[in-house]
Structure 1
Amino acid sequence: MILKRLLIIGSSLLFVYILGAIFLYALQEKFIFLDGELPADHLYAFDSKHEEINLTTPDGANLNAIHFRADSAKGLILYFHGNRGNLTRWGKVVERFVKLDYDVLVMDYRGYGKSRGERSMELLLKDAELFYSHALSQYPENEITLYGRSLGTGIASWLAGGHNPKRLILETPYYSLASVAQRFYPIYPSNWALRYNFQSFKYLKTAKCSVHIFHGTEDEVVPYKSGKRLHESIPNGQSQLITVEGGQHKNLVDFEAFRSAIQEILK
């Protein structure tokens, strides 16, 4: 009788576990990409000089971006944004770099803003490559800074591993996206189930440029130890870890330690 009850309980728990795994696998894009589309005729409004550009991918997707122009640019920052919001938000975020005399090119991923097209990890990386090629058509490679924030740190790291930009800046990065998912869903094998497992630590093994990592000690989304682990995986002397005491995932810019270090790197 007891054995029968244990079998029923065990079967029920297994069913719930499998059901949860199917649910998370099927809906993982909903958790990762908090996009927000914009109508095709939306007009952007920013204080800095800018132009809207659209690139078409080999599979026919339209990728929308904003190219900000400084009056006397030191180079270009190719910026890959986080998982929440579109260019109406991120355009305002990157304008601070225009004030530091840098041009900035920031794109929206597929499904974000005015960008369209089916999404996959492979396609997102190919899209990043397309924008890097576009940047190279206008700037020498030694004047290109790659910048990734949160979700975008994996994409920027992938580009750095395959090219030779001037530098790579990572704001609140992860060791791998699976390591972040494992934190939120510890009972599921994220390495196997995650279709978007950007592996920054792996990409940066072949990076030749300097790497500057910013992470807050109170980051509630990507733990500080994830950024520190990524820093420690990079050969000695190539990576700089800037620890922002008390910094969280979205507020590093509020800290003088972050602002002064960014200015020093980009001077």
Structure 2
Amino acid sequence: MKRALVVVALTFAACVQIETFFFAGRSIDAYRWDEAAPELDGDLSDAHPSIVPAADRIEGFVALDDEREVHWVFARRPGATTTFVYSHGNGPHLGRFWDRVERLWELGHHVLIYDYPGYGRSTGESSEAALYEAIDAIWDEVVPSIPEIDPTRTLLYGHSLGGGPTFHLAARAQRGAPRPRGVIAESVWCSIEAQIQEGAFLDLPRELLAHLAIDNCARASELDASTPITLLQGTEDDVTSPRQSELLESAATRAPVTRILVEGAHHTDLPNVAGDRYREWIDEAVAHALSR
């Protein structure tokens, strides 16, 4: 009996650890864009005043229901004709990833980033379903409301956890919703089960994580030739191993896939390690997507 209780306790503790990992959001009242504020300290650069001018930063909220709303920020790039809808990783909020927005903005693109429920200024509880609800609302309601965004010239970009909502929306488009032109997935896993069985977290069966059943491989398998995929993966990533991008590539049997391994890159520093090659890969991904 005592042994059984220990097993139950360990299993419960393991589930708590995994849930904590996946939903590490933190609420914030506001972003101090024009200061070197701590909430803007990112993976690619230290905190600094935003290089996106105040006149080109547009913020808003979209309601999911009477009690929940999603906060979004649009970085408008004068003269740009393409847009990235950016789904960020599992940092506390989008401020942690603003330097990534700036990187794409510097490359000449509009960028629309948003926070999941329970992260940043978005309200509500975090869950897998909430990830999908958030990006659906962004695509269905926010994208059409911003004059500078041309949906026919819009790509999805998902980093780490952001691969879940990114592949969800791309697959949804295969079922009749307006479709994005392409997907870029950086440091994204195949599935929760594949991650756990590979030992990234704990060797637990999927049944214990039924509420965290993110399966990007399944969604990628739904994409066809109209939605090209670019996979960016660091060789030294100890959170999402290169094997995960191999599985994603294998799963996407109908969509054209470009898989790029970045030697020496870890889970959060890939654009920096890639240097000028990052621009080349983004340019190529955009050109490929818009040519189809």
- Post-superposition CA distance 1:48-84 (Å, at most 9, x none): 1211111111242121111000011121100000001
Report the more deviating stretch, 14-23 or 185-194: 185-194
Q: Is the contact made by 2:181 and 2:228 (CA closer than 8 Å) also made in structure 1?
A: yes
Query: Runs ≥4 in structure 1, deviation > 4 angstroms?
Result: none
- Cα distance change on mapping 1:14 and 1:230 into 2, 3 Å: same
* Correspondence list, 1:1-267, <5 A: 12-26=2-16, 28-39=18-29, 41-45=30-34, 46-48=50-52, 49-133=56-140, 134-138=142-146, 139-163=149-173, 164-182=179-197, 183-208=199-224, 209-235=227-253, 238-253=256-271, 254-256=273-275, 257-266=277-286
- Tell me by how many angstroms 1:42 deviates: 4.3
Give the superposed CA RMSD: 2.0
CA distance in 2, matches of 1:56, 1:261: 35
What letter matches 1:142 in structure 2? T
In structure 2, distance between residues paired with 1:67 and 1:233: 32
Q: Distance in 1 between matches of 2:100 and 2:245?
A: 21
> Unmatched 5+ residue regions in structure 1?
1-10
Distance 1:162 1:53, change over 3 A: same
CA offsets 1:26-59 (integer angstroms, 9 cap, x no match): 45432212222212x4443322121111111124
Q: Which structure is larger by alpha-carbon Rg, 1 or 2?
A: 1
Partner residue, 1:6: none
Residue 250 of structure 1 and its aligned partner are, at CA, apart by 1.1
Deviation string 1:204-232 (CA, Å, 9 cap, x unpaired) is: 22223000000111111011101111111
Q: What is the TM-score of this pair, normalised by structure 2?
A: 0.81
CA deviation profile, 1:191-249 (whole Å, cap 9, x unmatched): 44242221001112222300000011111101110111111111266111011122211
| SS, match of residue 221 in structure 2 | helix
Per-residue Cα deviation, 1:2-39 (whole angstroms, up to 9, x for no partner): xxxxxxxxx55443222111123345432212222212
The aligned counterpart of 1:7 is none
> What are structure 2's unaligned runs of at least 5 residues?
35-49, 174-178, 288-292
